[in-house]
Structure 1
Amino acid sequence: MPTLFRLLSALPLWLLHAIGAALGWVVFCLSPTYRRRFVGNAAGAGYTLADVRAAVGHAGRMVAEAPRLWSARALPPCEMRNAECVERAWAAGRGVVFLTPHIGCFELSVQATAQRWSPVHGPITILYRPARQPWLARVMATARNRPGIQAVPTTLQGVRQLIKALRRGEAVGLLPDQVPPQGLGVWSPFFGRPAYTMTLAARLAQQTGAAVVLARCERLPRGRGYTLHFEDMREQPLAPELDAAVLQINQAMEHLIRQSPGQYLWGYARYKSPRGERHTGPQHQEGGA
């Protein structure tokens, strides 16, 4: 597998995306469970399969482009839009919390951001859970700890390192639509349906006063590269109440997803129960991160 990984990393982006799109449709057609979840999640957000059919191929592109992003020394072309809001966040001097959902090329979001701002403002710290396969764990460890990126374990010690980074005026990056383990989230509406949602993103911003910046890395057609869009939440600061702040972040993720629904991972099990919990529902709320 490592040999195949290296071979794939040498292919041009347009070819990787073509292979990935085909792979995405193969999985969609062969897996009834994945297909039902994909269609159901999209329908819950008000989209038909026809509306978001492009997302089937983009899910495969995400997999196919990983070898290139993790192994290449040079990043693919990535234009940044509204980088001014990131500059304003740095100018506040309280650190930056970058948030992005499972949309487009979220791997490149942190890499491109680190390449531009880490030489001046220090590394971006991200949480990292090693893969079970030893070879993949080694590859991911190398990829995630690229220049300007500091990957920390998904443990209490890792969370402490996130807080320390923000208090040094640095940045952290999170995927707030990722289902956390039991006890590290609350039930909060996501596209109108209760979803177990991490409290970590809200707590980090509340405890440190860090600026919150939203990011969305959009794939361009025919492997021409990416566009990384930034937005801030200055017009609607996070509420001091945890549940309200978590809901605000969910709504911000919905806002990003609706800007390019054809690139969201609708097949992600967003509404599953957290590990260690048998029942779902807003009545089973747990404490924060």
Structure 2
Amino acid sequence: MLRWFRFFSHWPLWALHVLGVAGGWLAWLFSPTYRRRMGANARQAGLGWRTLVGAVGQAGRMSAELPRLWLGQTPSVVWADAQAAADAYALGQGVLFLTPHMGCFEITAQALATRFGAQYGPLTVLYRPARQAALGEVMALARNRPGLQAVPTNLSGVRQMIKALRAGQAVGLLPDQVPPEGMGVWAPFFGKPAYTMTLAARLALQTGAKVVLIWGERLSWGRGYRLHTQALDQALSNDLEAAVVQINQAMETMILACPQQYLWGYARYKTPRQEA
């Protein structure tokens, strides 16, 4: 697998995206389960077929661009607005960056590390080790980058994130990722109960870290990515479940700003798995 990732890592981004669009439509056409879930999730958010047409190809682009992002030369990145991130770092209280499964979330971590890592220390991100050894080798190479510190999805990883935030550094999370049973609460997401992680809210409330929303917009024709940041519009409630609802609402607002780039095929409403 590493050989194939290295091969595709040299391709221009536009060519990978063309390949990805084809793959995205093939997955949609030949997987009834994926097709039904994608449609149901989009309808739950009040969106129709026009959004899905764009989202099918964007989902394929997300997968096809990984070799370039993990092992190749970093594509062009421009910042629509970095002020929210810069202001949060300057406070010295730690920064919690939250992004949904939207656009290119891999590039957000790399861009933050490149822009702020030298001055404020590494960005700490969670990762779940791959079940396949070959993919695990690829991911290990991808995560070992200057300014990035990957920690496992266990108690040790959580402790490292808390330590980083208390040291004034930054942590990146995808708060719409379904956590294992016992590590979340049921909270509305586009009006339907979804098992939602409490980790993001706990980290912010326990450390006093500044919460910043971020997402990486995928530009057309392989022109690269545009990063958007903004501070959470209101302080998180001290009540944990209320804070989780606030974060879900913030994710909804971000997603609806560019719904074609959200991963509607993600099983957001699934029953949480049990940890072994």
Aligned partners of 1:201, 1:80: CA distance in 2, in Å?
Answer: 24
**Amino acid across the alignment from 2:239:** E
State the alpha-carbon separation in 1 of the partners of residues 230 and 196 from structure 2.
21
1:44 pairs with 2:32: no
Q: Is the 8 A contact 2:2 2:137 kept in 1?
A: no
The whole-number CA distance in structure 2 between the counterparts of 1:152 and 1:86 is 22
Q: How far is 1:138 from its partner? A: 1.2
Superposed displacement of residue 52, structure 1: 2.9
Counterpart code for 1:49 = W
Please report how far the alpha carbon of residue 2 of structure 1 lies from its aligned counterpart in structure 2 after TM superposition.
2.1
Map of 1:280 onto structure 2? none
Letter in 2 for 1:173: G
What is the distance in 1 between the residues matched to 2:211 and 2:63? 28
Counterpart in the other structure of 2:234? 236
Task: Return the offset for 1:136.
Answer: 1.0
Distance 2:85 2:75 in 1: 21
Give the CA deviation at 1:134: 1.0
- 1:70 is matched with 70
After superposition, what is the alpha-carbon deviation per residue over 1:180-206, rounded to whole angstroms, capped at 9, x for unaligned? 000000000000000000000000000
Provide the rounded CA distance (Å) in 2 between the counterparts of 1:132 and 1:193: 31
The question of whether the paired residues in 1 share the 8 Å contact of 2:39 and 2:52 is answered with no
Q: Give the corresponding residue for 2:2.
A: 2
- Once the two structures are TM-superposed, the CA of residue 46 in structure 1 deviates from its matched residue by 0.2
The residue number in structure 2 matching 1:87 is 86
Deviations 1:12-60 (A, max 9, x none): 0000000001100000000000000000000000001222311100111
Deviations 1:94-142 (A, max 9, x none): 0000000000100101001111000100000011111111121011012
Deviation digits for residues 258-277 of structure 1, max 9, x if unmatched? 11100100000000010139
In the other structure, the counterpart of 1:102 is 101
Separation in 2 of the partners of 1:145 and 1:183?
Answer: 30
Task: Supply the AA of the counterpart residue of 2:95.
Answer: V
- In structure 2, how many angstroms separate the alpha carbons of the residues matched to 1:63 and 1:190? 25
For 2:141 and 2:127, how far apart are their aligned partners in 1? 12
State the alpha-carbon separation in 2 of the partners of residues 81 and 225 from structure 1.
Answer: 13
Contact 1:75 1:112 in 2 (8 A): no
Alpha-carbon distance, 1:93 to partner: 1.1
Q: 2:264 aligns with which of 259, 263, 266?
A: 266
Letter in structure 2 aligned against 1:109:
T
CA contact (8 A) 1:212 1:232 kept: yes
SS in 1 for 2:187: strand
1:197-212 to 2 correspondence within 5 Å? 197-212=196-211
Q: 1:144, 1:253 → 2: CA distance?
A: 25
The residue number in structure 1 matching 2:255 is 257
> Which residue does 1:172 correspond to in 2?
171
**SS of 2:65's equivalent?**
helix
* Overall identity of the aligned pairs, in %: 61
Q: Which stretches of structure 1, 4 residues or more, deviate above 3 A after TM superposition?
A: none
- AA of the residue aligned to 2:85: V
Deviations 1:223-268 (A, max 9, x none): 01110100101x4110100011000000010011011100100000
Report deviation, 1:216.
Answer: 1.1
Whether contact under 8 Å (2:59, 2:263) holds in the other structure is: yes
Which residue type is aligned with residue 260 of structure 2? G
Query: Within the alignment, does 1:19 sit opposite 2:19 as a pair?
Result: yes
Q: Are 1:153 and 2:165 an aligned pair?
A: no
CA distance in 2, matches of 1:70, 1:118: 18
Distance 1:80 1:105 in 2: 14
Alpha-carbon distance between aligned partners in 2 of 1:190 and 1:209, rounded to the nearest angstrom: 25
Aligned partner of 1:122 in structure 2 is 121
Unaligned segments of structure 2, at least 5 residues: none
The amino acid across from 1:20 in the alignment is: G
SS in 2 for 1:53: helix
Q: Secondary structure at the match of 1:240?
A: coil
Deviation at 1:3, TM superposition (A): 1.8
What are structure 1's unaligned runs of at least 5 residues? 278-289
Amino acid at match of 1:86: A
Partners in 2 of 1:27 and 1:90 — Cα distance? 41
